[in-house]
C-alpha cells in the first residue's frame, strides 16, 4: 500500500479487543486490523480494558494504556461503571431530537462501555485518523461516531434483530462518512431500515483465513467418531437457533433411525435431555486446528442461525470442502448458498428433513457442493481482496503507479 503515505491512519474502534476475546464481530475486527497492518496500512485499535461482552462483570481485564497485539498498536481505556450520564450531560447536542433509550431499557446504545477518556481521545486526535467503528449496536459506536462525523466510518455487522429497529440508529447510519457491509443482503437491510444513501454504502465482505488444512481422519480418531455427522460450530444459544437444530435433529432420528450424529462445538453450555446423549455430542470449545479438523470430518455443516451479517463458520466449513445446510430465514447465508451452490436451505422441519435426505443419499453431490463452496470463498473473501476493497472505500480508488500500467519490455 505504498500509495497511502500522507493519508490519515485508521483508528479501529471496538468495545473489546484481544486474542482471547469472544464474539464474531470481535474476531472479524481483530483479523481486519492484523490484515491491514500486514498490508502496510497505518492502523491503531482504540478499545476498552474489558475482555468481551460475555465477561464484563470481571471489569477491567487488560491494563490501561498502549500496547501491541500481533503487531497491531492497541490503546485501551477503562470501562465505565455508570451508564454514561456525565457524557450525555456534556454532549446534549448529539443526535438532537432523537429519543435516547432510558437506563431501564437495557438497550446497548445507552451503554458507552469505555470511560470518557476514549471519547476525549477521539475528539482531540481526529485530524490524525479515519475512525472505523464496529459493531453498530453499542454506545461506543453510536456516540463516538457523532463526535467526529466527517472522519467516521461504520462496519455495522447488522442483523435483522429487535435492536436494529430502534429509531436511534437511523441518524447514525445516515450521518457517518461511509458504511462498509459484510454482505449484500446486510447492505440491503440497512437501506430498507434507514434509507441511507446507496453511494456511501459498500459491501466489502469479510476476510477468511485460507491456510487451514483440516484432517478428517485425525478428528475422527481423536474423538472416536466414525459415524456420519452433522456439525454445528459457534455460540450455542437460541439466538443462533441451536435448540431448533437439536429439536429438528431429534425428530429426524425418530423418523429415520440410523447412525447419524449431531456434533456441537463452541462456547456456552448446551442444555440437553439425557435421552439425546447417544446421538448428540457436545465437544465444547475446540482449538483452531481441532475446529478445522471437525469441519473437514463433518458429513454436513449446519448453520441454523437466522441473524447473520456474514457467517464466518459457514465460510470456514466451505474452505474444508464441506457441504452446508442453512436457515432460509437468514437472507445472508441463504444468499451465500445461492451464489456459491455450496449448500441448501430450509424453512421448517419438513424442508430440513428433505434436504438431509438428499445430501445424505448423494455423496457425490455433497462433495461437489463442498468444492463449489470452497471456490466461492477463495474467489471473494481472501483477506488481500477485502483489504483492497476497504482501502478503496475509505481512502478512495488506489492510485496505480506508472510502472504498473506500462507494458513490460
Architecture of the domain spanning 216-380: 3-Layer(aba) Sandwich (3.40)
State the cell numbers at 349. Answer: 422441519
Residue spans of beta strands (DSSP E) within 65-204: 65-69, 72-77, 129-133, 152-154, 178-181, 201-203
- Looking at residue 400, what is its pLDDT? 42
- Distance, CA of 309 to CA of 187 (rounded, Å): 9
- Looking at residue 397, what is its pLDDT? 64
Residue 315 DSSP one-character state: H
Query: Domain extents for the chain?
Result: 2-207+383-402, 216-380
CB atoms within 10 A of CB 382: 17
Architecture of the domain spanning 2-207+383-402: 3-Layer(aba) Sandwich (3.40)
Q: What is the pLDDT of residues 192-229, one digit of tens each?
A: 999 998 889 999 999 999 999 999 999 999 999 999 99
Tell me the mean pLDDT in the region 153-179: 93
Tell me the mean pLDDT in the region 179-185: 95
Q: Using an 8 Å Cβ cutoff, are 265 and 283 in contact?
A: yes
What's the whole-model pTM score?
Answer: 0.85
pLDDT(403) > 50: no
- Identify the weakest region by mean pLDDT among 137-151, 236-250, 252-266: 236-250
- Looking at residue 86, what is its pLDDT? 80
Q: What is the pLDDT of residues 74-109, one digit of tens each?
A: 999 998 877 777 888 888 888 887 887 877 777 888
- Looking at residue 404, what is its pLDDT? 35
Closest by CA position to 48, among listed 108, 138, 114 = 114
Mean pLDDT of the chain: 89
Instruction: State what percent of residues in the chain have pLDDT above 90.
Output: 70
Tell me the mean pLDDT in the region 101-129: 87
- Looking at residue 68, what is its pLDDT? 94
pLDDT(409) > 80: no
Helix ranges, 176-235 (H):
184-194, 216-223
Strand partners, 45: 12, 74
Q: Can you tell me which residue has the cell 481485564? A: 61
Amino acid at each position: 500500500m505504498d500509495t497511502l503515505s500522507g493519508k490519515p491512519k485508521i483508528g479501529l474502534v471496538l468495545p473489546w479487543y484481544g486474542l482471547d476475546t469472544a464474539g464474531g464481530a470481535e474476531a472479524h475486527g481483530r483479523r481486519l486490523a492484523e490484515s491491514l497492518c500486514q498490508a502496510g496500512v497505518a492502523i491503531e485499535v482504540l478499545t476498552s480494558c474489558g475482555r468481551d461482552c460475555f465477561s464484563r462483570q470481571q471489569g477491567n481485564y487488560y491494563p490501561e494504556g498502549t500496547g501491541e497485539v500481533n503487531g497491531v498498536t492497541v490503546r485501551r481505556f477503562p470501562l465505565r461503571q455508570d451508564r454514561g450520564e456525565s457524557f450525555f450531560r456534556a454532549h446534549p447536542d448529539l443526535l438532537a431530537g432523537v429519543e435516547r433509550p432510558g437506563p431501564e431499557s437495557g438497550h446497548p446504545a445507552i451503554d458507552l462501555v469505555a470511560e470518557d477518556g476514549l471519547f476525549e481521545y477521539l475528539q482531540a486526535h481526529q485530524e490524525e485518523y479515519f475512525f472505523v467503528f464496529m459493531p453498530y449496536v453499542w454506545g461506543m459506536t453510536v456516540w463516538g461516531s457523532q463526535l467526529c462525523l466527517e472522519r467516521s466510518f461504520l462496519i455495522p455487522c447488522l442483523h435483522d434483530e429487535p435492536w436494529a429497529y430502534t429509531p436511534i440508529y437511523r441518524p447514525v447510519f445516515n450521518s457517518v462518512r461511509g458504511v462498509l457491509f459484510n454482505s449484500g443482503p446486510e447492505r440491503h437491510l440497512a437501506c430498507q431500515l434507514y434509507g441511507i444513501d446507496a453511494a456511501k454504502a459498500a459491501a466489502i465482505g469479510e476476510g477468511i483465513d485460507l491456510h487451514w488444512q483440516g484432517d478428517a481422519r485425525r478428528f475422527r480418531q481423536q474423538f472416536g467418531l466414525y459415524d456420519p455427522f452433522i456439525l454445528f460450530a459457534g455460540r450455542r444459544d437460541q439466538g443462533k437457533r441451536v435448540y431448533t437444530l437439536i429439536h429438528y435433529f431429534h425428530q429426524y432420528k425418530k423418523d429415520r433411525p440410523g447412525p447419524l450424529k449431531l456434533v456441537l462445538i463452541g462456547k456456552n453450555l448446551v442444555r440437553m435431555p439425557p435421552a439425546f446423549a447417544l446421538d448428540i455430542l457436545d465437544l465444547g470449545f475446540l482449538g483452531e486446528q481441532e475446529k478445522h479438523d471437525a469441519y473437514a470430518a463433518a458429513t454436513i455443516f449446519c448453520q441454523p442461525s437466522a441473524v447473520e451479517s456474514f457467517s464466518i463458520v459457514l465460510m470456514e466449513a466451505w474452505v474444508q470442502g464441506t457441504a452446508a445446510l442453512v436457515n432460509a430465514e437468514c437472507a445472508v447465508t441463504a444468499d451465500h448458498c445461492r451464489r456459491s451452490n455450496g449448500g441448501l436451505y430450509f424453512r421448517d422441519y419438513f424442508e430440513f428433513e428433505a434436504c438431509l435426505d438428499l445430501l445424505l443419499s448423494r455423496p457425490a453431490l455433497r462433495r461437489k457442493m463442498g468444492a463449489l463452496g470452497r471456490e466461492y470463498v477463495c474467489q471473494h473473501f481472501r483477506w488481500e481482496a477485502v483489504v483492497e476493497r476497504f482501502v478503496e472505500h475509505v481512502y478512495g480508488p488506489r492510485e496505480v503507479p506508472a510502472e504498473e500500467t506500462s507494458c513490460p519490455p
